[in-house]
Amino acid sequence: MLEQLSENKKVMYLGIFMVWLFHLSGIIGMSMGHSDWFLSKTIVNLLVALFFLILCYPVLSAKSIKVAAFVFMTGMVVEWIGVHNDWLFGSYYYGNNLGPKIYGVPLVIGVNWLTLTFITSAMIMKKLGNKWLEIATASALMVFLDFFIEVSAPPFDFWIWPEGEAPLRNFIAWFCIAFVLHYVVQKANIKWNSVFSWQVYLAQLVFFMYFYFFPLF
């Protein structure tokens, strides 16, 4: 048992190292003029985070796999609705730096919804003493991160807002959808790894806050 715990910690620390390595390398490399190369590898960055997320939770039980599939599919469906119907998030479309698309929606967007939902759940759940406050706080954390992502998304060719910037309803929709997802995830009572989750969240926050204050384009 102690040997297994030791191995789990090694995997977690390796995951934390890799996540920070990718994000800090991106900041340094893009700041030095290599933005095209690093942005084209965005999908790799997201998949690495997902890979270690699975190892660190681990998301391997039948229940957790069903919940993960639900979050992934919900993310894909709401994004499909968003791309093809302006009323959900506002008018936007996806660029070319997030990899293969299905009906205009990159597959990695479902991964992003899954990763952000699981890590923010791990950061907050069972820590505030009230499930509704925990669900609302975890949802707010997702919206807070999205606020900084939205500024860099168009110049990074992730997604584009023809009107120039993300409208208020985008953040309201994000919060409402995240609230539903967090409710489902909490009801499933999946085992969390909050240490790794905090590191993934902070790495993404540092990355996008840096380019919020020091934009490349």
**pLDDT tens digit sequence for 124-153:** 988 898 999 999 999 999 999 999 999 999
Q: Are 200 and 49 in contact (CB under 8 A)?
A: yes
Could you tell me the pLDDT band of residue 59, with boundaries at 50, 70 and 90?
low
Mean pLDDT of the chain, nearest integer? 91
Residues 6+ apart with CB under 8 A from 170: 89, 90, 92, 146, 150
Unique residue bearing structure tokens 């995997």: 11
Q: Are 151 and 211 in contact (CB under 8 A)?
A: yes
Rounded-to-integer distance, Cα 14 and Cα 2, Å = 18
Residue 32 has pLDDT above 90, yes or no: yes
What are the residue boundaries of the structural domains of the chain, listed by start?
2-213
pLDDT above 90 covers a percentage of the chain that reads 78
Res 47: pLDDT: 92
